Structure 1
Amino acid sequence: MSQVQEEGCQQHPLEGVRQLIDGLDQQIIKLLHQRMKLVGEVASIKEERGIPVCDLEREAQILERYEKEFRDSSWAAELRYMMKQIIAGSRAYQSRILGQKREEGWKWQRSSDSFDAQAFQKRQFAYQGVQGSFGYQALQRFLQARVIPYEPTKLQSYPTFADLAAAIVQGEVDYGMLPVENSYAGTVQEVYELLAQPSLHIIEEWILPISHHLLVNPGGELAAIEAVISHPQALQQCDHFLQEHPHWNRLTSSNTAASARKVAVMGDLHVAAIASEEAASIYGLEILIPHIESNVGNRTRFVLIGREPSWHAEANKLSLCFTLPDRTGALVEVLSAFLVHQINMVHIHSQPAKTTPWHYQFFVDIEGNLQQSNVLAALELVESMTHTLKLIGNYPAGEEPSSRRR
């Protein structure tokens, strides 16, 4: 700031100082406008030569050069932050230009087969668990909503999530329904690990209301119960109720319906199951206490997965999986790509990348469709900043049960 400006700051009240700042801002905007024109030229050259948008070495050189000038300043950290934002904005502008140029032939959009609802009706579907499980119910309701004819006995079942995923990869079945997130207990990490595999993709999403009931053999009484069996997630979702019975032995099973079947086979009045009303009906159990879930608005988000990606014209949600280079601010830079391109992020979580200790995979859901230029630009940018990147799927977001057409 010049001496005249400094004197103005001392003499003027707040509004006077703000006017001086506004004058500087106008100069900065003009310079940024010139800079962005040059950035556009850089993008064209990169496009011609096949150079990626993100050039970390070049960015580091820019920051290092300017840091030398303001290293001794009391606001050095803030100046560094502002310079990084200018660089991020330039990078985002380049990605938008390249995204628009590649919109018609971009690999993720055109390599995905268009969704064929008619062919969808001729496929083999599967779920994890046994009849009456929530995965079974989600698959049934999905097929009914899509008016896809099916016979319950011909739906394939697999004992574990991994078994179901392997069956899809190997071609035993075409699609499988798996849970990814519960509104109370959180993400199902085992399923996300499977979705990171290159050969599995999300085709559709389905949201299922979850109601847990305490089931017993006919004639069972609350005072006689010594143990309760269910899936670990179901036990977690009913923890408030179970805390009222601390003397019960909590046993786990592969899923809720399997626990109901086991209690029915045992015929023991001292053992109860936590499962659905449908499981009680299938296995001849009685509902001793209904709706024992801790959260009355309990929901589980399921996804239908398949071997090949399918692009939907009405898709409004994208799921991504990526790993990052080990450097400061890597995650922030990736997330800023969505901010700059005005894309809403609706889910994010991380879990360990088991191949490398202390490294992580990130899973992100964003709103958008691969036909949108801002989405393509953001993905172009994200790809340049990540170590690995997988588009898990672009599909219609699941509707809340209350908003579905009757």
Structure 2
Amino acid sequence: MQTIENLKKTLGGIDTQILETIKKRIEITNQIGTLKIKTGEPMFVPEQERKMLDSLSKRFDADIFGIESMWREIMYISKREQQKLKQTNKNTITIGIQGGKGSFNDIAIANFLDKNSFDKEVKIEYLYTTEAVLESLNSGAIDYGQFALANSIGGIVEETITGLGAYRWTQVENYHIPVKHSLLLHPNASIDSIDTIMGHEQAIQQCKTNLTKMYPHCKKIGGTDLLTDNASIAEAVANGTLPKTTAAIGHESLASLYNLKIHKKNIQDQNDNQTTFVLVKL
């Protein structure tokens, strides 16, 4: 007759076998990663991962055994080890950020790099959205990612919270910077001609009260799709993608970057406005 103690010993043996098998799997995936580095093949192929998960789900009852979630965890461990191999074998570190050039994300990562150094050259990729950052991180296209997590006025950044649940990541550090918004106009526009004010939904929220008081006649629009980020909106105003009757919200440095003029500085509702950013890796 089986006893609980005997069954526990049997389980212990099975657990040891599982761990040894996972260890062997990581060794093999590392060998594959090394070969891919030599041949220049992409380290991670999402379509291949999906096929593997679909195959496992057909062989087992995924709903009962949680095969997909368990296997995603195993693959995540393998991907993380392969990413370490990739970083060891290249001369640069790539950090993908949520914003564009001149955005507060850009300023935040510059501040972080001023205080912290990597042992390799750092390259910044402007990815504009949190989802794009996390997707690039999980595909191996970037080594680290950064995005805004929360603001002292606007609260939690919704697009970040949505993205965090869909991807795997590990927090490296979090930090905050002061956020002071300016109203930016096309060089040939006057404030009297402006009928729309556009910015990231968080920027609109952080300036909501002042914008309503100072520019009651203007529509206030949070950017979407390719025009989600303050920097991309500022660029669109400058190059004519958006009409001259649209004003952008963002850091004052966007004016010099995109040849815009600053109509008014410090339009945020609170002078002590600040945003918390998170640096992540696999």
1:278 aligns with 2:253: yes
Corresponding residue of 2:107: 137
2:142 to 149, 163, 173: 173
Does the residue aligned with 2:262 lie in a helix, a strand or coil?
Answer: strand
Corresponding residue of 2:53: none
Summarize the Cα distance change of 1:286–1:204 in structure 2 as closer, same or farther, 3 Å threshold. Answer: same
Corresponding residue of 2:48: none
Corresponding residue of 2:217: 247
1:223 aligns with 2:192: yes
1:257 to 231, 238, 244: 231
Instruction: Report how many residues are paired.
Output: 193
Mapping of residues 364-375 of structure 1, within 5 Å: none
- Distance in 2 separating the partners of 1:198 and 1:213: 33
Does the residue aligned with 1:155 lie in a helix, a strand or coil?
Answer: strand
Q: Is the 8 A contact 1:195 1:201 kept in 2?
A: no
Corresponding residue of 1:300: 275
Q: Deviations over 1:57-77 (max 9, x none)?
A: xxxxxxxxxxxxxxxxxxxxx
- Distance in 1 separating the partners of 2:278 and 2:142: 15
Mapping of residues 56-75 of structure 1, within 5 Å: none
- In structure 1, what residue type is equivalent to 2:134? A
State the TM-score, normalized to the length of structure 2. Answer: 0.62
Q: Is the 8 A contact 1:259 1:275 kept in 2?
A: no
Q: Is the 8 A contact 2:255 2:262 kept in 1?
A: yes
- Distance in 1 separating the partners of 2:276 and 2:254: 19
Q: Is the 8 A contact 1:280 1:286 kept in 2?
A: yes
Deviation at 1:122, TM superposition (A): 4.5
Instruction: Give the percent of matched residue pairs that are identical in Structure 1 and Structure 2.
Output: 29
- Distance in 2 separating the partners of 1:155 and 1:123: 9
Deviation at 1:249, TM superposition (A): 1.8
Summarize the Cα distance change of 1:301–1:223 in structure 2 as closer, same or farther, 3 Å threshold. Answer: same
- Distance in 2 separating the partners of 1:219 and 1:271: 12
1:147 to 117, 122, 126: 117
- Distance in 2 separating the partners of 1:130 and 1:159: 6
Deviation at 1:160, TM superposition (A): 2.2
1:195 to 161, 164, 176: 164
Does the residue aligned with 1:164 lie in a helix, a strand or coil?
Answer: helix
State the TM-score, normalized to the length of structure 1. Answer: 0.44
- Distance in 1 separating the partners of 2:244 and 2:129: 28
- In structure 2, what residue type is equivalent to 1:284? N
- Distance in 2 separating the partners of 1:144 and 1:217: 32
- Distance in 1 separating the partners of 2:138 and 2:188: 45
- Distance in 1 separating the partners of 2:205 and 2:167: 31
Does the residue aligned with 2:163 lie in a helix, a strand or coil?
Answer: helix
Summarize the Cα distance change of 1:198–1:219 in structure 2 as closer, same or farther, 3 Å threshold. Answer: closer
Corresponding residue of 1:60: none
Consecutive unaligned residues in structure 2, runs of 5 or more: 1-7, 10-79
- In structure 1, what residue type is equivalent to 2:149? V
Structure having the higher Rg: 1
Consecutive unaligned residues in structure 1, runs of 5 or more: 1-47, 50-111, 308-406
Q: Deviations over 1:156-188 (max 9, x none)?
A: 122421121011011111101111100111011
Deviation at 1:251, TM superposition (A): 2.7
Corresponding residue of 2:95: 125
Q: Is the 8 A contact 1:194 1:200 kept in 2?
A: no
- RMSD between aligned alpha carbons? 2.8
Summarize the Cα distance change of 1:181–1:202 in structure 2 as closer, same or farther, 3 Å threshold. Answer: same
